[in-house]
Amino acid sequence: MTTLSRKETFFVGLMLFALFFGAGNLIFPPFLGQQSGTHFWYAIAGFIITGVGLPILTVLAVAKAKNGIQTIGNRVHPVFGVVFTVIVYLAIGPFMGIPRGANVAYEMSVKPFVSEGSNTMALLIFTIIFFGLVYWVSLNPSKLVDRIGSLLTPALLIAIAVLGVGSLLKLKQPLGAVSKEYQAHPVIHGFMEGYLTMDTIAALAFGIVVITAIRQKGVTNQRAIVKGTLQSGLIAGAGLILVYVTIGVMGAKAGATHTYKDGAAILTTTADQLFSVWGVLLLGVIVLLACFTTCVGLVVACSQYFGKLLPKISHTMLVTVMTVISFLIANLGLADILSLSVPILSMIYPLTIVLVILSFFHGLFKESARGIYSGALIGTILVSVYDGLVQYGVKSEFLTDLYGHLPLFAEGLGWLIPAIIGGLCGFLVSLLSKRADQSVHA
């Protein structure tokens, strides 16, 4: 049985790290550090659960399911499997994830050096060059490990190390004060912040990229693919934890002396204080590499999925369509993209989490699987969709009062208990249906 060598596993792990490490991974941990202050270690623990643990579990779940997230979705119903997977790929790909990555790359690597009046034209020129390179790298997925895992990721890690070590050596002040949000439930608030990285949803797409990369190394046995995915995921996860803690501490210390509007401001100001204009340039390189590798991975993943769904359309055509749509939406601006994406994430993330968790217990469900999956997702949808609608301004006093009695609803986890109850109800319905069928046959 062919398996990945240690070197191959290491480079696939580096590729996965680079695919995950994009815009949100840089800007959210420092801001979490500033807000959580002396409660930082509790908050970062919650952040790591959704920002590292769930994405790695999701990649592993996709590998175990053979044909990806659609196989998991089909356990609810084949129509749900297709619809949910298409929504996920479009959301994490050309409609939100890729344009957001390109915009953050522009905001932190180019915009600081551009006058306000030239911003629109500068963004257009930047996105033309950015997506031109994304298109070129995405055309040949077989070289993805070599181009990202062995070339871009080391450059990214070196740049992060220089900035991180410099900040930890020079920022001598203790952790800052705790904000109101992080005083009562720092772990839960950190958990919710991990949503914003979009990595658990992105993992649904990246799972296919990793599996394809492993298969291209000659590994065809399903158990060996799952093992290689797990080992690569642990390497990527270790890298993510190290970076999150480093830049999170940076934010917690920087927040002790000044209040910043967001994580981007913390990183930019700290880089300028440590290394002057060279620090800002270094930060720009970090962000540019991080966003570029993530956008390439998402274009490839989306193209590979829709290539299976629509086999008559060539990979080149799909890459072209994904790149052009992403380019057009990216030029709308970061604020509009974020205002659209956060509510959608509130709807999709809980469904993804429930599906991934259930997939690891799938072998125990047997004939009751469809009932359990369906019940759990119905319970989740009833709350998560409303959460998203509220963020769009669509609100019902009756539902708000009703859902307000759910544990953790105010913290954004109100879907948890309904998901458990729904799963149990689905199991009971399946059990009763089975007994009724047996009685009829008897």
Q: Residue holding tokens 């792990």?
A: 13
> Tens digits of per-residue pLDDT, 258-304?
788 777 778 888 888 777 778 778 778 878 887 888 888 889 888 98
- Distances 402 to 152, 265, 390, 397, 416 between C-alpha atoms, Å: 50, 39, 14, 8, 15
* CB atoms near residue 116 (< 10 Å): 7
Residues 6 or more apart from 179 whose CB is under 8 A from it? 34, 35, 36, 37
For a pLDDT cut of 70, what percent of the chain falls above it?
A: 93
Does the domain at residues 6-343 carry the CATH identifier 3.40.190.10?
Answer: no
> Tens digits of per-residue pLDDT, 125-176?
999 999 999 999 888 766 665 666 566 677 777 777 777 777 777 777 788 7
In the DSSP assignment, the letter for residue 262 is: S
Q: pTM above the 0.85 mark?
A: no
Q: Residue holding tokens 């040949």?
A: 140
What is the C-alpha separation between 436 and 438, in angstroms, rounded? 5
Q: Which conformational region is residue 22 in: left (phi greater than 0), alpha (psi within -120 to 50 degrees), or beta?
A: beta
- Distances 85 to 12, 101, 258 between C-alpha atoms, Å: 24, 21, 43
Residues 6 or more apart from 222 whose CB is under 8 A from it? 66
Domain boundaries, the chain: 6-343, 361-442
Residues 6 or more apart from 145 whose CB is under 8 A from it? 11, 12, 15, 213, 216
